[in-house]
Each structure stands twice: as C-alpha cells, then as structure tokens.
C-alpha cells in the first residue's frame, strides 16, 4: 500500500510540475507576443493557443508515460508467466522513473503467485534478452525471482546471485561472487552429464543451450543434504553480461521422503543385527573356551554355527547395501591400501565359511602390487560375495583360488576361480542383474540374486570393472579390477579432501577434482 501512495504522490507532484510549467509558458508566450512583438490581441491569442496546444500534447505524453510505464512492466511480467511469452521482452522495473517500487513489488508478487514453473521461463528469457544493460542493473531482476539464481560469466565465475541463492548455499554473497561455480556448489548428479560437462560442451559447440537436471544433491554446511532440480541457460556473449544463468528448484523434502523408503530396510537391518551380534558373541565364547573339550563332531558343528552366523551377517549387509545402491545412498570413501596385506586378511575372514562346506581357499597374489584405492568395508563385501558364490557353485570340487595381479591397463585385478558347475552361456549376460538367478540352479542352490548386482555397483563406483569367464562343468572365474592409488592420488589437490568419496550407482560429483 505504501508503494501505491508513493506512486500517487509522485504522480501528483510530477503532473503539478509540468502543468504549472506549461501554464507559465503559455502566459509567457502571450506576454511575449503582445508586449515585446506588439502584436494585436487576436494574433497574440492565436499564437498563444498554438503554443499551448503543443505544450499540452507534450505534457500529456509525459504524464501518460509516467502512468503507463509501470503498467507496461507489469503487463510484460504477466506475459512472462504465461506459456506463450513470445516476443514480449523481460520487464525492467528497475529502469522506471515513476512507480518503480510499486511495479517491482507487484512483479515480485506475480512471480511468486506464478510459481516456480513459470519462473524458469523468466530465467531463460532473462538470459536471452538482447537488451543492452550493464550487469549491475540486472541484479535487481535476479532479486525479484522467487528461486535461488546464480549468474555466471564466460569462465563460470559467479558474477551475481540473489539473496535466495546466498541463503540456499548457506554462505554470504561475498564468499560466492567472483568464485568458480564448481567451487561454490559441491553438486552431485545422477549421471555423468554434470553441470560442468554440460557447460564445457555447450561452450564448445553452441551459442545458446538449455538444460535441466532432476534430483541434484548438495551438502550445505549446517543445513545438511539439499536435493533439488537444477535448470541452466547458456547464451554466449550475452549482452546482459551473464553467459550462464542457473536456477534451483528445491525439493529436499519431497526427495528425502522418497528416500525414506529405505527406512524400513534400515529398521529391519537394525532388528536383525542385534540378535546376530549376540549370537556371534556367544559362539565366539564357545569357540574360545570349549574348543579343546569338544569331540571333533561337536567342534565341526560349532564351526558351522559360527560360519552360518557370519554368512547371515554378510547377507544382512547385502540387503542394506542393495537398498542403498538403489536409493543412491551408498557412499564410498577411498583410501590407500596395501592389497598384498588386505587380500589375505579378507581370505582369513572367509576361510571358516569355505571350510565348513569342505572347500579350501588358496591365494595366488603377485608380490609387491601397487597400493590400491579402495573403501575397505565395501571391497570386502565384493570379495565376500564372490567367494560365497564360489563356495555355493563349486559342486564337488574343493578348490577355490583367489588370484591377484596387475592387469594390462595397470589396474589391480583380482579373480575368484572355482572348478564347479560353471554357468550356462545363455545366463552369462544376466549375471549382474538384480534378482537374477539361473534357472538351472534355482531349485538346487539357495540365493538372493543380489550378490553380483552389488558387486558390480561397488566395483564400478571404485572406478573398476567386473567380468566373468565360465565353462559349464569346468568352473567359473569372476574378476574385478581396482585402480592403483597413484591414479587417484592426483585428485587430492586439496589436503582437506584426505579421502575421496564416491557414490555407487552413479552419483557423480560435479567437480572434476572428484572424477577421473
């Protein structure tokens, strides 16, 4: 309402000023004609009338402009909110001399009512406007947008942002402006098509480009994980001074509700883990303190009990990790590790499970392998799943071998080899699919069909590959590779990133520092 009053009084003063001036000019013109040029009254009146007419037209035009300019801006804004904006230019309320506050507040209101969908149209049209205007004036335009907006120059440096964007990023403007967008926002995308790669390709190949991404993630200090849709508009050498505009549509609540589906898995896993902890604990006491007192048969039973509790623990972890992979919540933290030490450690842990099934686990590891970059917990699950499979499918053959050596590409390859039933050729290509179980084994060998799916997800997130070789009735070998630590150590430009984080199933960090 205050803006309206201000506009009214502004107009009154403006109208009063011009009408007063024009009246004075008319009187002046009459006096000039009659006194200075000594014209008779009729001529003087006629000349004065002509001058008054011209003045009135000018004043009327001025007044109409003063009233209609704010209306025009509001009208433009209204059109921007409709789908068919066509050639209607973006309103520039900041340039108005009269009613600027009124127009800006009304446009802001309209954009808010129009919702974020329409605002995206505004973002893109604003970027494409060919209205020559210094960048500073556009700041006010960003400010009226009802969503966080970042404006970048041709080098992806943040030139300008609105208050909403500063709030969303949880940092003051000064800390954002002038920095590279990739440093300011630590974005994670679902696919390799990240903002950074898109911008690079847009710059290389197009003058104008638009893109949008669903479910982008960003960790904000003190505010936790934000999830949103991101839109971007690139226009080369744009006269607004901004080459790229980014808009954020926050959906943190909706997306995290959807992620909540994992919570029942989480609940089940918690409830399963407690009795498992207890079982494994008491079994361990028995193993320690009864071992020497038991008959060989009872000792064998005890080992079977222990191995089964271990296998159940591994299965519970599988369920949880598959849920995490599916919800893009499995995060790996890569560290430097000595594979020559780690692999025997893992094998020792799996030995009992092999032993109670009558299998022996042999190691064939090339000495002095290069240090690898792995997430210890997750890579253990890879090996545990592959060895469990080898135990299950090795039939009457007892031997399982864990080979490890440096591959042709310099990656460290590990292969779990069994001499069992093998895999029918038709089943090979489905092996790493979730829930897939070969028909031939379905009836005879129990399994969830989750193991290899998880193996692939974890290894891929490590930057490695999985493969399989098999011949029916001769056995199978499942292999995977992990990268040497030296190849990712270079990513640690910043000592603050003491470990490298990877997310399984394709959450890709935007910044190249995290990618290979």
| Positions in the binding site for another protein (CB under 8 A) | 219, 224-225, 265-267, 269-270, 272-274, 276-278, 280-282, 284-285, 288, 313, 316-317, 320, 329, 331
The nearer residue to another protein, 181 or 320, going by C-beta atoms, is 320
- For residues 93 and 104, the answer to whether their CB atoms sit within 8 Å is yes
Backbone φ and ψ of 294, nearest 5°: -90, 150
The nearer residue to another protein, 280 or 304, going by C-beta atoms, is 280
The nearer residue to another protein, 253 or 288, going by C-beta atoms, is 288
Q: How far is the CB of 444 from another protein (least distance, A)?
A: 29
CA 97 to chain centre: 42
- SS3 letters for 93-151? HHHCCCCHHHHHHHHHHHHHHHHHHHHHHHHHHHHHCCCCCCHHHHHHHHHHCCCCEEE
Please tell me the distance from the alpha carbon of residue 11 to that of residue 1, in angstroms, as a whole number: 15
Please tell me the distance from the alpha carbon of residue 155 to that of residue 135, in angstroms, as a whole number: 16
The nearer residue to another protein, 273 or 437, going by C-beta atoms, is 273
Q: How far is the CB of 513 from another protein (least distance, A)?
A: 19
Q: How far is the CB of 273 from another protein (least distance, A)?
A: 4
Torsion of CA 159, 162, 163, 166, to 10 degrees: -50
Q: How far is the CB of 285 from another protein (least distance, A)?
A: 7
Q: How far is the CB of 181 from another protein (least distance, A)?
A: 22
Q: How far is the CB of 270 from another protein (least distance, A)?
A: 5
Backbone φ and ψ of 213, nearest 5°: -130, 135
The nearer residue to another protein, 164 or 316, going by C-beta atoms, is 316
- For residues 166 and 173, the answer to whether their CB atoms sit within 8 Å is yes
Q: How far is the CB of 313 from another protein (least distance, A)?
A: 5
Cα separations in angstroms, 85 against 76, 80, 121, 124, 403: 9, 5, 9, 11, 65
- For residues 408 and 448, the answer to whether their CB atoms sit within 8 Å is no
Q: How far is the CB of 300 from another protein (least distance, A)?
A: 20
The nearer residue to another protein, 223 or 442, going by C-beta atoms, is 223
Please tell me the distance from the alpha carbon of residue 144 to that of residue 137, in angstroms, as a whole number: 12
Q: How far is the CB of 170 from another protein (least distance, A)?
A: 14
Q: How far is the CB of 318 from another protein (least distance, A)?
A: 13
- For residues 491 and 373, the answer to whether their CB atoms sit within 8 Å is no
The nearer residue to another protein, 135 or 265, going by C-beta atoms, is 265
Please tell me the distance from the alpha carbon of residue 156 to that of residue 180, in angstroms, as a whole number: 6
Residue given tokens 């679902």 in the structure block: 190
Taking alpha carbons only, the member of 99, 109, 47, 34 closest to residue 72 is 99
The nearer residue to another protein, 276 or 305, going by C-beta atoms, is 276
- Give the orientation angle of helix 339-355 with respect to helix 296-326, to 10 degrees: 120
Backbone φ and ψ of 27, nearest 5°: -60, -45
The nearer residue to another protein, 26 or 276, going by C-beta atoms, is 276
The nearer residue to another protein, 73 or 461, going by C-beta atoms, is 461
- For residues 394 and 462, the answer to whether their CB atoms sit within 8 Å is no
Q: How far is the CB of 225 from another protein (least distance, A)?
A: 6
Cα separations in angstroms, 421 against 392, 441, 469, 475: 10, 10, 13, 6
Backbone φ and ψ of 169, nearest 5°: -80, -10
Contacts of 62 by beta carbon, 8 Å cutoff, 6+ apart: 14, 18
- For residues 148 and 176, the answer to whether their CB atoms sit within 8 Å is no
Backbone φ and ψ of 125, nearest 5°: -70, -35
The nearer residue to another protein, 167 or 271, going by C-beta atoms, is 271
The nearer residue to another protein, 339 or 380, going by C-beta atoms, is 380
Q: How far is the CB of 276 from another protein (least distance, A)?
A: 5
Terminal Cα-to-Cα distance of the chain (whole angstroms): 57
């Amino acid at each position: 309402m205050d803006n309206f009053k201000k506009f009214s009084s502004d107009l009154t003063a403006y109208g009063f000023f011009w009408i007063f001036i024009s009246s004075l000019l008319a009187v002046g013109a009459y006096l000039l004609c009659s006194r200075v040029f000594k014209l008779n009254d009729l001529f003087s009146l006629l000349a004065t009338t002509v001058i008054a007419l011209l003045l009135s037209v000018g004043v009327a035009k001025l007044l109409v402009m003063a009233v209609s300019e704010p209306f025009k801006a509001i009208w433009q804004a209204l059109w921007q909110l409709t789908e068919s904006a066509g050639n209607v230019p973006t309103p520039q309320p900041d340039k108005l001399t009269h009613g600027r506050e009124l127009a800006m507040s009304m446009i802001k209101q309209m954009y808010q009512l129009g919702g974020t969908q329409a605002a995206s149209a505004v973002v893109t049209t604003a970027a494409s406007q060919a209205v020559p205007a210094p960048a500073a004036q556009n700041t006010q335009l960003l400010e009226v947008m009802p969503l966080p907006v970042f404006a970048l120059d041709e080098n992806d440096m943040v030139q300008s942002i609105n208050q909403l964007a500063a709030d969303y990023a949880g940092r003051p403007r000064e800390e954002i402006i002038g920095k590279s967008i990739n440093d300011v926002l630590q974005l994670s995308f679902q696919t390799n098509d990240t903002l950074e790669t898109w911008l690079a390709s847009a710059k290389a190949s197009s003058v104008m480009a638009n893109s949008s991404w669903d479910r982008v993630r960003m960790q904000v200090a003190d505010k936790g994980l934000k999830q949103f849709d991101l839109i971007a508009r690139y226009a080369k050498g744009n006269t607004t001074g901004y080459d790229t505009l980014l808009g954020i549509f926050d959906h943190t609540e909706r997306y995290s509700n959807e992620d909540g589906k994992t919570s029942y898995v989480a609940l089940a896993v918690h409830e399963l883990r407690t009795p498992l902890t207890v079982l494994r604990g008491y079994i361990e006491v028995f193993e320690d303190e009864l071992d020497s007192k038991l008959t060989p048969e009872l000792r064998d039973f005890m080992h079977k009990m222990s191995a089964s509790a271990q296998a159940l623990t591994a299965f519970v972890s599988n369920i949880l990790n598959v849920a995490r992979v599916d919800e893009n919540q499995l995060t790996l933290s890569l560290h430097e590790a000595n594979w020559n030490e780690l692999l025997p450690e893992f094998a020792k842990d799996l030995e009992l499970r092999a032993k109670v099934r009558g299998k022996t686990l042999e190691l064939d590891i090339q000495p002095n392998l290069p240090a690898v970059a792995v997430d210890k917990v997750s890579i253990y699950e890879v090996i545990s799943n592959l060895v469990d499979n080898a135990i299950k499918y090795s039939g009457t053959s007892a031997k399982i071998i864990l080979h490890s050596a440096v591959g042709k590409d310099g990656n460290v390859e590990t292969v779990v080899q069994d001499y069992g039933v093998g895999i029918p050729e038709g089943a090979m290509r489905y092996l790493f699919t979730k829930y897939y179980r070969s028909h031939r084994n379905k009836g005879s060998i129990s399994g969830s069909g989750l193991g290899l799916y998880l193996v692939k997800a974890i290894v891929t997130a490590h930057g490695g590959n999985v493969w399989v070789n098999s011949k029916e009735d001769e056995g199978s070998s499942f292999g995977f590779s992990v990268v040497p630590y030296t190849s990712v150590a270079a990513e640690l430009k910043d000592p603050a990133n003491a470990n490298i984080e990877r997310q399984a199933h394709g959450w890709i960090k935007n910044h190249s520092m995290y990618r290979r």
